[in-house]
Chain A
Amino acid sequence: MIAAGLDPIAQFEIHKLLELSIGKYDISFTNSSLMMVVAVLSISLWLLLSSKKSLVPGRAQSIAEISYEFVADMVKSAAGKEGLKFFPFVFTLFIFILFANLLGMIPFFFTTTSHIIVTFTLAMMVMSLVIGYGVFKNGFRFLKLFWPSGIPMAILPFVSILEIISFVSRPISLSVRLWANMFAGHILLKLFAGFSIMMITGLGFFPGALGAIIPYAMTLALTPLEFLVAFVQAYVFALLTCVYLSDALHPGHH
């Protein structure tokens, strides 16, 4: 009764805003799609409005230039100079995930990245690019990734099996890491905020407000941490994308 509206899972529910379907496939426009559109629109607005290309950059242009250099440095350090041809892809991924995470921190906004199907789709995009480009550029030498050199012949087949399993598990671990961080963080926030409301509604204002101090302090402490997690997870996703892309660029040496 007290907990009505305080369900920590309810924030992840998908609502259809516009019913659409092609054949038997349901492609309805949901609140999740809406947040993706909001993220893309705000990114486009920011980048278009800040590209006046003045020699002395203003505030918005500085942020755009700093984020450009941040991602370019990351690509260069993880995948080398050749990796820079993937810069547009990595930059798009990083900025999209960052905006989706940060927009989710606004109260009553939906967090797109708290659904594993979204993060898994992003991870599969990365993996298909790695496999596609790796095979396109290296041909059969791409399979060297699963056939490491300098290992005794006797155990090489087993190592090769381990390498294959490890490679296939990459999109799963990549998507689970982003999803679990966002999901768990939002549940924690909602739980502690809900505790303090339940204290007051359950115990009345005077003893309840005293009891609510501790969960309220936890909420206060968790909020900046969640902003940090939102940034760090976008960074990790982009960085791992670069690491995997460097495998496609130079298979053979790990």
Chain B
Amino acid sequence: MTKKNGIPQETKDDPLKVFNSKLNALKVDNKKHEVDDKSSGMAAGLKYASEFSAAVLVGVFFGYLADKFIGTTPWGLLAGLIFGFGAGVLNVVRAAKEGMDGI
């Protein structure tokens, strides 16, 4: 009886242990894909700066083009600036979500 009790306990423990070792193996395997970039804060800064400023530039450019061809002189540029700002925030949020931390 005690043996019977002992065996289920062991087999009950085993799948968890097996799963844990598999998980740990996977964790190590995944870790090698992350590029360690803690040392380069400049790269992280340039990432967000370029994402944000590129969108603002494109928005302003679109607004300027609209002004030139439709003739709504100050308003297209202003609307483009605001939309570019919004798209810049969208870009930054996406860049942060991509999970490539620090790259």
Which A residues form the contact surface with B (CB < 8 A)? 73, 77, 158, 161-163, 165-166, 168-170, 172-173, 176-177, 180-181, 184, 225, 228-229, 231-233, 235-236, 239, 243
Contact = CB atoms under 8 A, between A and B. Distances in A.
Given A162-B83, A177-B50, A232-B37, A169 B91 contact: yes
A161 B40 CA distance: 34
Contact of B43 (A163, A166, A169, A233): A233
Given A161-B83, A173-B50, A236-B103, A166 B39 contact: no
B16 interface: no
B59 A165 contact: yes
Contact of A165 (B33, B39, B55): B55
Given A162-B87, A169-B57, A177 B37 contact: no
A172 B83 contact: no
Contact of B91 (A158, A173, A181, A225): A173
Contact of A169 (B33, B46, B87, B98): B87
A181 B43 contact: yes
A165 B58 contact: yes
Contacts, number: 82
A166 B83 CA distance: 10
A181 B43 CA distance: 7
Interface in B23-42: 33, 35, 37, 39-40, 42
A223 to B, nearest CB: 13
Contacts of B50: 172-173, 176-177, 180
Contacts of A163: 87, 90
A3 to B, nearest CB: 24
A239 B86 contact: no
Contacts of A169: 51, 54-55, 57-58, 87-88, 91
Nearest to A233: B43
Contacts of A172: 50, 54, 57-58
Q: Which 7 A/B pairs are nearest by Cβ-Cβ distance?
A: A165-B87, A172-B54, A173-B54, A169-B54, A176-B50, A169-B55, A173-B50
A181 B102 CA distance: 13
Given A73-B33, A225-B39, A239-B103, 14 more contacts: A162-B87, A162-B90, A163-B87, A165-B62, A169-B55, A170-B54, A172-B57, A172-B58, A173-B54, A173-B55, A176-B46, A176-B50, A184-B46, A235-B103
A33 B90 CA distance: 37
